[in-house]
Amino acid sequence: MKPFKSFILFSFGMLTFTACSDDEPAPEPINEEEIITTFTATFVPQGGGTTITLQSRDLDGDGPNPPEVTVSGDFAENAIYDGTIVLLNETETPAEDITTEVEEEDEEHQFFYTVGSSLNANLEYANFDGNGNPLGTAFTMTTTTASSGTIAFTLRHEPLKPNSGLADAGGETDLAVTFSVNIQ
Amino acid sequence: MYLRYFIALCALFTGFQASSQECNHTLSGKVMDFHDKTPLAGATLYIAKMGTYAYTDLNGAYSFENLCAGTYEIEVMHPECRTLIFPINIPETKKEDFLLEHHLEELDEVRVIGSIYSGKTNSGLENRLSEEALLQNSGNSLGDAIKGLRGVSSLNTGSNIVKPAIHGLNGSRVLVLNDGVRMQDMEWGDEHAPNVDVNAAGSVTVIKGASALQYGGDAIGGVILMEQAYLPAQDTLYGKTVLNGFSNGRGGNISTDLTKIFQDDWFIRLQGSFKRLGDQESPDYILSNTGISETASSLEFGKRTLNWGIQGRYSFYDAEIAILRASHIGNIDDLIRSINSGEPQIIRPFTYDLQNPRQDVRHHLAKISAYKRFQGLGKWSAQYDFQQNRRKEYDVRRGELNDQASLDLELTTHSVSTDFKWDAAEKIDLHTGLVGRYQENFPNPATGVRRLIPDYKRWELGAFVTGEYNLTANWSLDAGFRYDFSKIDALKYYQTTRWEERGYEDEFSDIIIEEVGSQLLTNPVFTFENFSGTSGIHYNRDNTTFLRFNYALSQRAPNPSELFSDGLHHSAARIELGDLRIKSETSHKFSASFERRLQKWGFTLEPYANFLSDFILLEPTGLEFTIRGAFPVWSYRQTNARLLGFDASAYVNWHTNWRTEHQMSLVKGKDMSQDLALINIPPVSFRNQVDFLKKEWHDFEVSFISDLVLRQNEVPPNITVFSPEQQQDVLLEINTPPPAYHLVGLSSSLDFSLGTSGRLTTSLIVNNLLNTTFRDYLNRQRFFADGMGRNIQLQIIVHY
């Protein structure tokens, strides 16, 4: 009989005891270490002119808000631009530069450029991994006549390298952003 | 408390009365099998009041001498039978034969005369996995082992993560009891399988529904009971070793156990298993990154006598499971590509390496329990158990983060329980108990990924009473009631944008503790009160015709995932969102069973209907854009649902050597509020089996098994999503079911005796004999790859 009684006492004791220990420190907040919040492509025209930036910024990561997409201006006709891509994680202070991580793991990453058919522009890779396959954080863009359309940038993690494009690259998408631009 | 003292006192008095008689009477007779009257040798007969024993000889005969006059209860025990208690009048009775049910090996449960039904419940639907089937599955998971039972299916993530489903329901709706301990192993996730080793169990029983209230009131799907093997009451040392080799996965497992029983009823049992497989293969390609490494061990010791016992147990389970590389995807376009291509996006050469994505789960379980029998009253038991579950999930990540788990949870649970079984009366059994539980979840912040499940504490208190009444020799009634209280107290960070999107700012503004950057720290506290009940009737004529009808009301409080889930799942390319407003779900389940069990043939028909209100389900509700691309949003919501099902099985013994078995399962699930089909409901399936047995050839046995799984035609509609890659809306065929398939299997075995007590069994088992290409609707990896191809298993079992 005794064990039963002490058991009941014990169980209630345990419940009440654990129930009052509410003064523990709050868990620390977690800032996503891996997330890319900001994509910026900077286009510097060869021989001078207006630098154009395309930016997609999503400060709440996989939160409900869509990325904010900005295009600083229109591209010039018949121009050659030197392009660079910068990836940031702005949930951390100071913002973490993720481009360097991608460039360190160049064999496991590749950017792809998809130019809408109505846009008279062409993008070429300007940097490559250790095996001579494209990496694409740097590129050149050549424009011809005035037109409007889209440029999409896709970053794949662990794609098949070499490949003939997005269709057979496989891997998984780390980033996919689309911009509507004009050439004037 | 006082009542119990009083009853014990009364029992003591009647004991004194009986001993004041003259003591020169005898009692003799035989102990025989209930069914075929074969004599049972080695049975123990015990008259507790006098403390005298008798044993049966080879002819099943026993005799007592020098008995005092009086009324006694005599307990008749046999290692392979259920212990029975019979009332005896001395000296009126001089000769008495006792019949025991020889076919069922039970634990220490003591049943009273008149109750011939042998299950865990009186009127519920249940199935027990045969010892043979359990051994055959010693290289598989629990989910695979019980999948062959009617009404049982599974939700898989590949072939190593198998989540059991009963009558179409899985997860928190299916309780797993491991040697009397309710597993607390994060059963809420689709890709979380029970953290148990089948080799540690002596028997596995599936109860289909909430009719066994002692285990929990929230078993809307059912209960899986893993129990320890029977311990013979004699000084002995025995054990077995099982060795399995698998062609698919190019590995195997070994499992061994050893039991020592001492003269004075103390025992100790040690058990351990190890399993290692590399990449598995579909008929056409390697399923890259699908290996597994699993280690499990347990130690058990205690003392078991008829009147009291004490037992301790510690078990450890550790599994590292690689998850198909191609199933880890970046965004919705990757998912569309995977579905359309029909082949995994990543196929590499075979390897034993377990790479990311992978899971590493570890479960510690310790318990101590005791029981005491009060003559003429019943049995009292108490238990304390401790569990710690650590789950780490690794995603494919950049750089050093690749070695850092993306999800790292530690769930610690303490439970105390006690119950009393009042089984002394001839016609009525009562069972009542209490359980208290405390649980703590700690998500490790070192992951660098926002917590999917927050820090929380949970308290639970439950009380139940169930009873069984034997109306006549054929009819018995049962009824039960259970009350459960639970409280969950969490500390959770919400992204401010998510908090607003969920519409929490009006309803839940009082739970915000502070604002930290773009996140809100909140303290949600919820309490739930649940009621469950069951009642039923059972009819048994001559142990050949059985009829059962059962009604079970059960309520389940939402699990942490349903309340708090908030984040991106790479394995499904979806954002999963819980809802703080979710309340308990309620199920009303009606089930019936009609069974004929004859020498030549037999069948079982089991229809059931489950009406669920506030059924919690996860379904696609929209699309969200991130810099990674677009993701479908899956939200938990509550609705009214209905599950209608029918299971049937039959056997025919055509000839002494030939036997066939047949089985079918059908279940239909419907969301009544929206008039839509429910997701993840098992398709109609048929299993047919032909067995050939020849005792003279070393117990030679060969079986051909055919599994036909039809296409699930009742699925929720697909969703239309915008594909950034294609710059247009596309239909995401996430609910399109794969076509029907038919798999053929073979199993054969031979038995050899080794010395006096040893035995060697060798088996050859082939699954998917014809190397058929198929995809299973209930496999979450069906979007990415085919199911497993042919698997040849060679098994050697040595009993010693």
> Same structural domain for residues B309 and B202?
no
pLDDT of residue B110: 34
pLDDT of residue B620: 80
Would an 8 Å CB–CB cutoff place B355 in contact with chain A?
A: no
> Same structural domain for residues B480 and B539?
yes
Of the ranges B30-44, B326-340, B626-640, B673-687, the best mean pLDDT one = B673-687
Give Cα B743 to chain centroid, integer Å: 25
Helix, strand or coil, per DSSP, at residue B198: helix
Does residue B360 sit within a domain?
A: yes
Does residue B119 sit within a domain?
A: no
B338 near B326, Cβ under 8 Å?
yes
> Same structural domain for residues B461 and B537?
yes
Please identify among residues 104-143 of chain A the ones whose CB lies closer than 8 Å to any CB of chain B: 104-105, 114, 116
* Residue indicated by tokens 């059924």: B615
Enumerate the residues of chain A whose CB falls inside 8 A of the CB of residue B625. Answer: 58, 66-67
Question: How far apart (Å, rounded) are the C-alpha atoms in residues B498 and B501?
Answer: 5
Confidence of residue B427 (pLDDT cuts 50, 70, 90): confident
Whether residue B561 has pLDDT greater than 80: yes
Asked if the peptide bond before residue B91 counts as cis, ω within 30 degrees of 0, the response is yes
B418, B449, B497 ranked by CB distance to A60: nearest = B497
% residues pLDDT > 90 (chain B)? 61
Helix, strand or coil, per DSSP, at residue B40: coil
Question: How far apart (Å, rounded) are the C-alpha atoms in residues B586 and B529?
Answer: 12
Q: Is the CB of A63 less than 8 angstroms away from the CB of B501?
A: yes
Answer with the one of B182, B215, B248 that is the final residue of a domain. Answer: B215
Would an 8 Å CB–CB cutoff place B525 in contact with chain A?
A: no
User: DSSP label at B211?
Assistant: -
pLDDT of residue A17: 46
| Alpha helices for B447-495 (secondary structure H) | none
> Same structural domain for residues B232 and B320?
yes
B259 near B241, Cβ under 8 Å?
no
Q: What string of DSSP letters covers B379-392? A: EEEEEEEEEEEEEE
B254 near B274, Cβ under 8 Å?
yes
Asked if the peptide bond before residue B738 counts as cis, ω within 30 degrees of 0, the response is no
**Paired residues of A156 in beta bridges:** A110, A173
Boundaries of domain holding B184: 126-215
Enumerate the residues of chain B whose CB falls inside 8 A of the CB of residue A27. Answer: 443, 445, 451, 454-455, 491, 493
> Same structural domain for residues B189 and B57?
no
B337 near B353, Cβ under 8 Å?
no
Would an 8 Å CB–CB cutoff place B347 in contact with chain A?
A: no
A11, A67, A173 ranked by CB distance to B333: nearest = A173
Does residue B110 sit within a domain?
A: no
**Paired residues of B429 in beta bridges:** B468
> Same structural domain for residues B13 and B156?
no
Would an 8 Å CB–CB cutoff place A48 in contact with chain B?
A: no
pLDDT of residue B18: 39
Q: Give chain B's domain count.
A: 3
> Same structural domain for residues B674 and B740?
yes
Question: How far apart (Å, rounded) are the C-alpha atoms in residues B331 and B333?
Answer: 6
B401, B438, B454 ranked by CB distance to A18: nearest = B438
Helix, strand or coil, per DSSP, at residue B140: coil
Question: Mutating which of B9, B328, B374, B398 best tests the A interface, going by the most A Cβ atoms within 10 A?
Answer: B398
Q: Per-domain residue ranges for chain A?
A: 31-183
pLDDT of residue B449: 86
Specify the CATH number for the domain of residue B147: 2.170.130.10
Specify the CATH number for the domain of residue B511: 2.40.170.20
Pair type for strands B629-653 and B574-577: parallel
Specify the CATH number for the domain of residue B43: 2.60.40.1120
Question: Mutating which of B627, B634, B723, B727 best tests the A interface, going by the most A Cβ atoms within 10 A?
Answer: B627
Enumerate the residues of chain B whose CB falls inside 8 A of the CB of residue A66. Answer: 624-626
DSSP H or E stretch at residue A2: helix A2-20
Would an 8 Å CB–CB cutoff place A171 in contact with chain B?
A: yes
Shortest distance, CA A143 to any CA of chain B (angstroms): 22
% residues pLDDT > 70 (chain B)? 93
Question: How far apart (Å, rounded) are the C-alpha atoms in residues B717 and B545?
Answer: 44
pLDDT of residue B657: 93
> Same structural domain for residues B575 and B630?
yes
In the numeric block, which tokens belong to residue A163? 């490949």
> Same structural domain for residues B264 and B413?
yes
Whether residue B698 has pLDDT greater than 80: yes
Would an 8 Å CB–CB cutoff place B519 in contact with chain A?
A: yes
Whether residue B113 has pLDDT greater than 50: no
Question: How far apart (Å, rounded) are the C-alpha atoms in residues B425 and B437?
Answer: 32
pLDDT of residue A78: 94
A7, A29, A64 ranked by CB distance to B517: nearest = A29
> Same structural domain for residues B764 and B679?
yes
Q: In this structure, is the dihedral angle defined by the CA atoms of residues B119, B120, B124 and B125, taken in order, positive or negative?
A: negative
Question: How far apart (Å, rounded) are the C-alpha atoms in residues B174 and B181?
Answer: 14
> Same structural domain for residues B160 and B91?
no
How many Cα atoms are found within 13 Å in the side-chain-facing hemisphere of A162?
Answer: 7
> Same structural domain for residues B628 and B581?
yes
Does residue B550 sit within a domain?
A: yes
Helix, strand or coil, per DSSP, at residue B48: coil
Residue, of B235 and B525, whose pLDDT is higher: B525
A179 to chain B: closest CA residue: B724
Residues B222-270: tens digit of each pLDDT: 999 998 887 776 778 899 999 999 999 999 999 999 999 988 889 999 9
Q: Give the list of residues 6+ apart from residue B575 with CB closer than 8 angstroms, or none.
A: A62, B567, B568, B569, B624, B631, B632, B633, B634
A5, A10, A178 ranked by CB distance to B1: nearest = A5
The pLDDT of A141-163, averaged and rounded, is: 92
Answer with the one of B215, B235, B264 that is the final residue of a domain. Answer: B215
Confidence of residue A5 (pLDDT cuts 50, 70, 90): low
Residues B602-621: tens digit of each pLDDT: 999 999 999 999 999 988 88
Would an 8 Å CB–CB cutoff place A177 in contact with chain B?
A: yes
Does residue B118 sit within a domain?
A: no
| From A120-134, B264-278, B672-686, B750-764, the region with the lowest mean pLDDT | B750-764
Closest C-alpha among B361, B366, B330 to residue B346:
B330
Asked if the peptide bond before residue B682 counts as cis, ω within 30 degrees of 0, the response is no
pLDDT of residue B572: 66
| Alpha helices for B508-566 (secondary structure H) | 560-564
SS (H, E, C) B71-112: EEEEEEECCCCCEEEEEEEECCCCECCEEECCCCCCCCCEEE
pLDDT of residue B59: 83
Confidence of residue B105 (pLDDT cuts 50, 70, 90): very low
Whole-complex ipTM: 0.81
Shortest distance, CA B384 to any CA of chain A (angstroms): 9
